[in-house]
């Protein structure tokens, strides 16, 4: 896919890297074949005026946005901003000020498409993002995974009066968003995620008039093809141009923190095979966005961080550019990131972590070391010895045999020592790239609960032994 665009998706939800980190990694992205960035700010954009509350206290400043755009330009990377327009709207709908826009009163996920203020809020957000991105040629309106449609009273009344289905409510709202962009920014083309269109009947899709307004981005992160078999024929009858979206991280588990590169190589290989077969049905396959999700949604914990997944990004970009994964690609990315030997493609296969040096390599090495330590921790916590001879009932009765407790104490003490030692290592590495809120979250979610749990085992083991 050498003649198409390759966009690196930057998911900034709640934990944006420092701008100085982008300065270090944009040249690598360019070297590996990236042509642009798909930037999903969510609440990290500095909204102002009537929607200033949407911006997180940790949001980038306008000056930061300008710096990112300049760095992208310096490295020949185009920028496509992404603003969600109906679903995944938690970062807005969690606020009391915007609660009335919810489709389901208790769920801050989807906008009500029948509330005129919903469109107003979305358009205000789009206008502000475009204002701070002068000269952009494309804009992404999100629109994926809208789990609640046509369920509020306002929508039910509208569907009855206008003889509409929930799917038509979605299409009408999306068209209104796209019309706003077309009328006010005629030189900007629009993109949307495709999943809400996949099962839409062809006549309905044709009558929606979306074919002239937007290019769908077909996303699929698995290693085998599981999309509707008629998807390409149907889309080709409506949309002249399409995009695809793969993943280089953040697609194998909501709380996974280490990237299985081999899995994502297989995903890209799958996409290359599919596109070789299907691309002739379209005027153009515009390109591929390599998604790198940082959270599964606004309320989810952080998953794989960008510095940890930089080796995966390099391998996937070059695979996409060259049309095949090869030993040469593996060796090239290993050299670019200064690995003393070939970088591991699957960190879940235990083994030594090769020394390396690249922007964020301290995070990479710390995460892989923690992964191995985490596995040892889980083995002990779920060890039948602990469940049998150190369960709460035995501890309450002070009923124990030292021959079983002593090995548990020895092993748990070693794990506690290792966890206590790696905590400041991870903290220091994270602070080089991320702001304090992201550092605190990662440690409190992934490290500190394990320290607390293993400390409890150590103390109970010592107490048991003192009673024998």
Positions marked catalytic: 145
Burial of 63 (0-12, 13-18, 19+ CB in 10 A): exposed
Paired tokens of 162: 């206008």
Asked if residues 418 and 426 have their Cβ atoms less than 8 Å apart, the reply is no
Q: CA–CA separation, 323 vs 100, rounded Å?
A: 48
Nearest 5 degrees, angle CA 278-CA 284-CA 288?
A: 80
Asked if residues 332 and 325 have their Cβ atoms less than 8 Å apart, the reply is no
Paired tokens of 70: 């300049």
> How far, in Å, are 231, 336, 383, 390, 453 from residue 387 at the CA level?
51, 47, 6, 6, 14
- Which element (helix H / strand E) includes 326? none
Paired tokens of 227: 């999309």
The partner residues of 249 in beta bridges, in order of sequence, read: 292
Angle formed by the axes of helices 327-336 and 310-322, nearest 10°: 140
Phi, psi dihedral angles at 13 (to 5 degrees): -45, 105
Paired tokens of 37: 């960035």
Phi, psi dihedral angles at 321 (to 5 degrees): -70, -45
Q: CA–CA separation, 101 vs 190, rounded Å?
A: 24
Q: CA–CA separation, 226 vs 31, rounded Å?
A: 32
How many CA atoms lie within 13 Å of 79's alpha carbon, on the beta-carbon side? 24
Q: Render the burial of 79-111: b for 16+ CB within 10 Å, e for the rest.
A: bbbbbbbbbbbbbbbbeeebeebbbeeeebbbb
DSSP state of 137: -
Asked if residues 166 and 146 have their Cβ atoms less than 8 Å apart, the reply is no
With a CB cutoff of 8 Å and minimum separation 6, the contacts of 288 are 1, 4, 5, 6, 7, 243, 244, 245, 246, 271, 320
Maximum distance among all Cα pairs of the chain, rounded to whole angstroms: 81
Backbone CA torsion sign across 48, 54, 58, 62: negative
């Amino acid at each position: 896919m050498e003649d198409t665009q390759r966009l690196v998706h930057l998911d900034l939800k709640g934990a944006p890297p420092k701008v100085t980190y982008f300065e270090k990694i944009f040249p690598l992205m360019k070297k590996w074949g990236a042509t642009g960035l798909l930037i999903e700010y969510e609440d990290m954009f500095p909204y102002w005026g009537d929607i200033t509350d949407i911006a997180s206290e940790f949001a980038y400043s306008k000056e930061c946005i300008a710096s990112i755009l300049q760095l992208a330009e310096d490295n020949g990377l185009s920028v496509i901003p992404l603003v969600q327009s109906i679903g995944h709207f938690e970062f807005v709908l969690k606020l009391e000020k915007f609660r009335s826009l919810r489709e389901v009163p208790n769920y801050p996920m989807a906008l009500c498409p029948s509330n005129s203020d919903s469109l107003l809020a979305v358009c205000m957000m789009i206008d502000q993002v475009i204002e701070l991105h002068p000269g952009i040629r494309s804009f992404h309106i999100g629109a994926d995974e809208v789990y609640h449609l046509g369920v509020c009273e306002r929508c039910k009344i509208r569907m009855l009066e206008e003889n509409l289905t929930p799917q038509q409510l979605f299409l009408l709202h999306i068209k209104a968003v796209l019309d706003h962009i077309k009328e006010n920014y005629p030189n900007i083309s629009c993109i949307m995620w495709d999943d809400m269109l996949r099962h839409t009947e062809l006549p309905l899709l044709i009558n929606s008039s979306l074919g002239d307004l937007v290019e769908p981005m077909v996303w699929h992160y698995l290693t085998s093809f599981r999309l509707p078999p008629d998807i390409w024929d149907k889309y080709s009858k409506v949309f002249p141009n399409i995009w695809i979206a793969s993943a280089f991280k953040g697609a194998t588990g909501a709380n996974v923190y280490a990237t299985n590169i081999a899995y994502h190589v297989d995903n890209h290989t799958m996409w290359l095979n599919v596109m070789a077969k299907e691309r002739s049905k379209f005027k153009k396959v515009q390109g591929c966005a390599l998604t790198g999700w940082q959270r599964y949604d606004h309320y989810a914990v952080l998953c794989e961080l960008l510095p940890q997944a930089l080796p995966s990004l390099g391998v996937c970009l070059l695979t996409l550019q060259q049309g095949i994964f090869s030993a040469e690609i593996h060796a090239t990315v290993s050299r670019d990131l200064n690995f003393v030997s070939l970088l591991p493609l699957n960190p879940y296969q235990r083994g030594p972590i090769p020394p390396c040096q690249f922007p964020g390599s301290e995070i990479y090495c710390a995460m892989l070391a923690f992964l191995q330590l985490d596995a040892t921790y889980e083995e002990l916590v779920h060890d039948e010895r602990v469940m049998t001879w150190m369960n709460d009932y035995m501890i309450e009765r002070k009923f124990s045999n030292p021959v079983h407790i002593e090995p548990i104490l020895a092993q748990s003490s070693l794990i506690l020592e290792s966890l206590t030692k790696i905590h400041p290592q991870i903290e220091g590495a994270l602070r080089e790239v991320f702001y304090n809120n992201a550092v605190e979250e990662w440690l409190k979610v992934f490290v500190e609960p394990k320290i607390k749990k293993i400390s409890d085992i150590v103390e109970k083991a010592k107490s048991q032994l003192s009673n024998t």
